[in-house]
Amino acid sequence: MKTEDIKFKQKASQRIYNDYMKRIKRATASLSKINQDDIYMEFNSHIFEAIQHKNEANELDSLLDIIEKLGSPEEVLKPLVADKKLEQATKTFNPVHVFNALVLNFTNGISYILFSILYLFLFGFVVLILAKIVNPSLVGLFMKKDSLSFFVLGIFNPQDMAKNQVTDVLGNWFIPVMFLSIIIFYFIITLLLKFKKSINQKTHS
Partner 1 sequence: MNETFVANWKSQVKKGTLTFIILNVLKNNEYYGYELIEQIRKHTEIEIAEGTLYPLMNRLKTEDLVESKWVEQETGIPRKYYSLTDAGIETLAQMNIYWANLEKSIKKIIQ
Taking CB under 8 A as the rule, does residue 64 contact partner 1?
no
Shortest distance, CB of residue 26 to partner 1, whole angstroms?
A: 15
Shortest distance, CB of residue 39 to partner 1, whole angstroms?
A: 7
| Sole window of 26-34, 71-79, 90-98, 119-127 interacting with partner 1 (rule: CB under 8 A) | 71-79
What string marks each residue from 74 to 103 as x (binds partner 1 by CB under 8 A) or -?
-xxx-xx--xx--x----------------
Taking CB under 8 A as the rule, does residue 138 contact partner 1?
no
Shortest distance, CB of residue 28 to partner 1, whole angstroms?
A: 11
Taking CB under 8 A as the rule, does residue 205 contact partner 1?
yes
Neighbours of 6 (CB within 10 A): 16
Say if residues 189 and 115 touch (Cβ distance below 8 Å).
Answer: yes
Distance, in Å, from the CA atom of 11 to the CA atom of 74, rounded to the nearest integer, reads: 24
Shortest distance, CB of residue 30 to partner 1, whole angstroms?
A: 15
Say if residues 8 and 63 touch (Cβ distance below 8 Å).
Answer: yes
In the complex with partner 1, the residue whose CB is nearer, 73 or 140, is 73
Taking CB under 8 A as the rule, does residue 44 contact partner 1?
yes
Percentages helix, strand, coil for the chain (3-state, rounded to 5) are 75, 5, 20
Distance, in Å, from the CA atom of 184 to the CA atom of 176, rounded to the nearest integer, reads: 12
Shortest distance, CB of residue 120 to partner 1, whole angstroms?
A: 28
Which stretches within 29-109 are classed as H helix?
A: 33-54, 59-70, 73-76, 78-92, 95-105
Distance, in Å, from the CA atom of 4 to the CA atom of 58, rounded to the nearest integer, reads: 22
In the complex with partner 1, the residue whose CB is nearer, 42 or 160, is 42
Say if residues 142 and 168 touch (Cβ distance below 8 Å).
Answer: yes
Q: 98 exposed, middle or buried (CB, 10 Å; 0-12, 13-18, 19+)?
A: buried
Taking CB under 8 A as the rule, does residue 201 contact partner 1?
yes
Residues of this chain that interact with partner 1 (CB under 8 A) are 1, 3-4, 6, 38-39, 41-46, 48-50, 53, 69-71, 73, 75-77, 79-80, 83-84, 87, 201, 204-205
